[in-house]
Amino acid sequence: MKREREDWSRTYHKTLKGIKAMIDIQRMMKDIKKIAEETNITVTEIEGTILMASTNNQTTNTINITQMVEDL
């Protein structure tokens, strides 16, 4: 009877350790997801800035070419 109780006690504590590990992993995954979302927002903002700069550069190039043609 005592041996059986010790076995159940060990099983119970192993189960608790496993549950705690799963909870810790879920917390880590939640943190990783939050960081990924923040990174995605930052990348989107950078992409917008690059596209804006590209559009501005194309406009400047067009104006410069037009100016050169007029000067000729």
Task: Flag whether pLDDT at 43 surpasses 90.
Answer: yes
**Region 14-30: what's the mean pLDDT?**
97
Hey, what are 66's tokens?
């037009």
Residue 18 has pLDDT above 90, yes or no: yes
Joined together, the tokens standing for residue 25 give: 């992993």
How do the domains of the chain map onto residue ranges? 1-72
Quick one: average pLDDT of 12-21?
A: 96
Summarize pLDDT for 47-67 with one digit per residue, the tens: 999 999 998 888 898 888 888
Portion of the chain with pLDDT greater than 90, in percent:
62
Region for 48 from its dihedrals, namely left if φ exceeds 0, alpha if ψ lies in -120 to 50, beta otherwise: alpha
Q: Which two tokens stand for residue 36?
A: 């990924």
pLDDT at 61: 87
